[in-house]
Structure formats: C-alpha cells, structure tokens
Amino acid sequence: MLGETGRQVQSPAPDSARGLVAGLSRARRRGTILVGAAIAIPAVTLGAVTVGLAVANSREADRALLTAEQFGQIRVGDARTDIGHLLPRYTLPRPDGGRPGCDYFAITTNPFADEFEDAYEICWDQDLVVSTALVEGAAR
C-alpha cells in the first residue's frame, strides 16, 4: 500500500489495533468516572449541608419550644416572674420585621409541620406582657 508520499505504508498489526481499542476503552471509563464524580461530589455536599442546616434549625426550635397550652396560659399584664416557669430558657432569633422588645418561641419542632415557620410572639414592657400573638411565616 502506498501513502501520499509514495512510500510503502504498512497497516497496523492486529495486536497494536487491539491495544489502541483497549486504551480508548479505558480512557472512556475514566472519563465516565470523572464526570460521575463531578456530578456526585457537589450533590452529596449540598445534601449534607441541607441536612446539617435542618438539624440545626430543629435543635434551635427544640430549645425554644412553647406549647399551645403554655402559650394559652399567658395573659396581657402578666409579670415575667409569674410566668417564667412557662417560658423556655431560649428564644428564637427575632424574624425580619419582628418587633423590638418581643420574644419569639417555636410552635413545633417538626420541620414537616405546616406551623414550623410560625412562632409565638410575646411582647414586654418593663417585664409585663403587653401583647401576645401568633406570627405566621416567621421564617426562622
């Protein structure tokens, strides 16, 4: 067989062709593994961060949980010292648009409940309750 330059060109030996095909096959497998890793690593990382944030949010709610029964016992005019036994030790961070002088408490610790984003609001003036409210969508 003559090439473009007029010289004799030998066709590749069957063994070298098999080696070339095997090398290409290995390269394709490596490429597939790299693409899979490039997709899987960020997905797993995002999943881990999401779970971590959900656990932290749930723990925060657990520490600031005020039951409906406890909230129902609180009346305007009550002194903080008189109802201190009803209140959790911790409060939720004040939500955007929240009022100064108010404490916010979790309604539930269940992140799948509709009320998870809601909070009880108790507002104080000189350690006296001046208002109580349910704040929907307080978005912790």
Interior CA angle at 34 toward 28 and 39, to 5°?
A: 130
Q: What is the pTM of this model?
A: 0.61
Question: What's the number of domains the chain is made of?
Answer: 2
Same domain, 5 and 48: yes
Asked if residue 52 belongs to a domain, the reply is: yes
Please check whether residues 78 and 37 belong to one and the same domain.
no
Residue 54 included in any domain? yes
Together in a domain, 102 and 123: yes
| One domain for residues 34 and 21 | yes
Q: Are both 45 and 21 inside the same structural domain? A: yes
Q: Do 95 and 47 share a structural domain?
A: no
- Select from 45, 62, 79 the last residue of a domain: 62
Which range of residues forms the domain containing residue 77? 64-135
Write out pLDDT tens, residues 55-64.
777 677 778 8
The DSSP H or E segment spanning 54 is helix 14-63
How many C-beta atoms surround the C-beta of residue 98 within 10 A? 17
- pLDDT tens digits, residue range 22-40? 777 888 888 888 888 899 9
Q: What is the pLDDT at residue 4? A: 63
Torsion, Cα 122 123 126 127, to 10 degrees, reads 0
